[in-house]
Each structure stands twice: as C-alpha cells, then as structure tokens.
Amino acid sequence: MRPASEEELSGMVRAARGPLVVRGGGTRSVGRPVAGEMLETGDLSGIRLYEPGALTLVAGAGTALAEVEAALAAEGQRLPFEPMDMRALLGIEGVPTVGGMVSANASGPRRVQAGACRDSLIGVRFVDGTGTIVKNGGRVMKNVTGYDLVKLMAGAWGTLGVLSECSFKLLPVPEAQASLRSAAMAPQEAVAMMSRALGTPYEVNGAARDAEGRVALRIEGFDAQVRYRLAALEEALGGDWERVEGAASAELWQGIRDVTAFAGHAGDVWRISVRPSDAPEIVARADCPVVMDWGGGLLWACCDPGRDLRADLGAFRGHATLIRGSEATRAALPAFQPEPAPVAALSAGLRAKFDPRGVLNPGLMG
C-alpha cells in the first residue's frame, strides 16, 4: 500500500485487518523483523513550506531527505542534527526519507552541540493505529502548548503512529569547518581529551575517536573564527595534532556519522548510549572494535555475529541497541534495551492507547 494523501493513509490504517510494516525509504531496518502488509509513505512527499528567514521547514514524511537537504543547501541552511545515513553500514539501497529519519531520531556527531533530531523537530502530523489524524507542535520553534507528542514520535519507529508531515527548526551552514586529529589514544585518554575539548568555550561540535583510536575534534564558524578557535583549542589541549581542513574535515565527519569503519565488514553492530566517563569501562567489557562519538557518549561496537553483547556488558548507566544483525539474531535478541517494569508498563500503555489493535510495526521495539 502506498497512500498518496493523509486521508488515504488514514483510510488504509483504519481498514487494516492485520499488522502493517510501516516504511519510508526502507533504509533503517532496525528492530525485530515485522511480518505484515507493507505500508509505504513515499508518496506523502514534498516540501510544504520553507521560510529561510524564520529557519523553518515543513515537509511530507515521505519526502526524500536528499530533496530537503538540497533545498536547504541552496539557501545556505541545514538540519542542525547531522542525521546519519545507515545505508552503507546496513548494506541497503534505497532513498532515506524525512519520516524514517524522525522515526529513528537519527542524530549525528553534532548532537553534542546542536541537539538530536528530536530537538530540531518542532511539529508532526501522523495517523495513529485507529486511523485518526493527529497534529502536535507546529511550525514555530518555541511552543509549549499542550503535551509534546513531537518528542514522543521521534524515535518511536512508527509504532505509535504513521508520520505524514514533519516540521523542523534549521540552522545556517557556517562559512568554514576544520578539525584537529590526534595519533591513536587509549579509550580512557581519548575520553578525557574529548571532555576537556567539549569543556572549552570554543564550541567544539564534533568529538569522536575513530576505529583506529585517533581522536578528532571539529570546529565550525566564520573563517577567521575557525582559525582562531582551532589554534586556541590546540593550545588548551597541548600535544600533537594534525589539522584537517575543509572538504577533508567534512569527509572525516561523514565517516564518523555513518560509521563507515564497520560498513562492509562482517559482524553485528551495536549502538551504545552511555555516560561519557563510563565509556572506557564499557569499551573494555565489549572487547571488540569500537567507534566513539559524542565525546564518548555514543559507542558503535562491531562484534561477532549472534553474540549477546548486551548481556556481556552487564548493568551500566545507559542502553544498547542492536543495529545490524542477521534476521535470526534480530529475532532472537531484543534490539532495544529491555525497560524496567514500571517504564515498560508506560510504554505498553502508550501503545495500547495509540495502536489498540496492534497494527503498526507490532513487536518492532519489543
């Protein structure tokens, strides 16, 4: 099924007799595999409103992300949160959509400064599991009118409603960017270095440790500003740093964002969200290749296929999600971190209210 309008989408959900596999571009296949009829949102597309002077954009959920990014680039603006493109990592072809990005709350390296996808998402329209059309938020960046269902829909993986339209707050693309890169460092040393960098006033908006152990720090801004800040940062941190400028810097961060280090390599990939200072301990427990982003707050681990990495990590302050694994592994292990009973009850309660018949990606999140 491929609805061409929100009304059609509403009718299709209402008429559904069994599970629906809700899909944007199909480029973020995460979670327990769902068997059911395909519901594709690709025709709910088009940029509905773009006001560069107000830093806001509204687009149909099925709009290709590339289309949005091209429109923004033409005005020197961008989505602040640097959404990850999962295609290379997952080995999938397809066209990433706005709705898929929101449903995954896809957020890249700039999350440390500019926030996650959910922080830039200012409005949604969606169809819940009963076929009802709901709107929440709007097209203004400061809005506390009623409950914030916008946040709830970001990262809900299409299990509470099928997104039909999303609104975003935007930011200007800075004039320049450049990065510092170190020689390989041990996790402990790397996290300490990244924390120090993120604690300076130079607005470091990328802090990562690549698969080879090299720490990279990014600064963006006006040309002179970037030069000044890079020098000031280098002096504050001490040690030897390689400067990576312009296009090479952009390429470096795209690699971190998309975790290209693990693309095309065998193994399951887990995404671990952790308190940065706990990261070295988690890396030790994982005992496998790891890429660190968000100053150590986000770990990408590539481990032997089928391994229950979450079990091996034991209790820690954060959560682990299985991002890449065979269908068998994804069916056997919960992709999302199991929740404590009272929180699980709230999640189940929300699902029961928004999708009482259990037709929207049932079981995907556990």
Partner 1 sequence: MDMPAANPATLAKRDRVLARLAEVLPEQALIRDEAERRAYECDALTAYTCLPMAVVLPGTTAEVAAVLRICHEERVPIVPRGAGTSLAGGSLATEDAIILGVARMRDVLEVDHADRIIRVQTGITNLAVTGEVESDGFFYAPDPSSQLACAIAGNIAMNSGGAHCLKYGVTTNNLLGVTLVQMDGTVIELGGAHMDAAGYDLLGLVCGSEGQLGVVTEATLRILPKPEGARPVLMGFDSSEVAGACVSDIIKAGVLPVAIEFMDRPCIRACEDFAKAGYPDCEALLIVEVEGSQDEIDEQLGLITQIARRHNPVELRESQSEEESKRIWLGRKSAFGAMGSINDYMCLDGTIPVSSLPFVLRRIGEMSQEFGLDVANVFHAGDGNMHPLILFDANKPGDLELCEAFGAEILKLCVEAGGCLTGEHGVGIEKRDLMSVQFAPEDLEAQMRIKDVFDPHWLLNPAKVFPLEASATRRAA
Which residues 56-75 are close enough to bind partner 1 by CB under 8 A?
56, 75
Kindly state the helix (H) or strand (E) to which residue 98 belongs, with its residue range.
helix 98-103
Q: How far is the CB of 162 from partner 1 (least distance, A)?
A: 14
List binders of partner 1 among 82-111 (CB under 8 A): 105, 107, 111
Q: Which is nearer to partner 1, 76 or 246 (CB)?
A: 76
- Residue 340 in the binding site for partner 1 (CB under 8 A): yes
Q: How far is the CB of 160 from partner 1 (least distance, A)?
A: 8
- Whole-number Å distance between alpha carbons of 42 and 59: 12
- Residue 138 in the binding site for partner 1 (CB under 8 A): yes
Quick one: how many helices (H) and strands (E) in the chain?
Answer: 14, 17
- Whole-number Å distance between alpha carbons of 20 and 1: 9
Q: Which is nearer to partner 1, 107 or 179 (CB)?
A: 107
List binders of partner 1 among 229-248 (CB under 8 A): 232
Kindly state the helix (H) or strand (E) to which residue 233 belongs, with its residue range.
helix 223-237
Give the distance between the most distant pair of CA atoms in the chain. 64
Q: Which is nearer to partner 1, 105 or 177 (CB)?
A: 105
- Residue 176 in the binding site for partner 1 (CB under 8 A): no
Segment near partner 1 (CB under 8 A); pick from 18-26, 181-189, 304-312, 314-322: 314-322
**Of the candidates 221, 172, 220, 222, which has an alpha carbon nearest to the alpha carbon of residue 52?**
172
Please, are residues 294 and 276 in contact by the beta-carbon 8 Å criterion? yes
How many residues touch partner 1 (CB under 8 A)?
84
Among the listed residues 207, 336, 359, 360, the single contact to partner 1 using CB under 8 A:
336
Among the listed residues 95, 347, 358, 363, the single contact to partner 1 using CB under 8 A:
347
3-state helix, strand, coil in the chain (%, to 5): 35, 25, 40
Segment near partner 1 (CB under 8 A); pick from 14-22, 51-59, 64-72, 83-91: 51-59
Burial group, residue 238, by CB count within 10 angstroms (0-12, 13-18, 19+): exposed
Binding mask 269-298 for partner 1 (x = CB under 8 A): ----xxxxx----------------x--xx
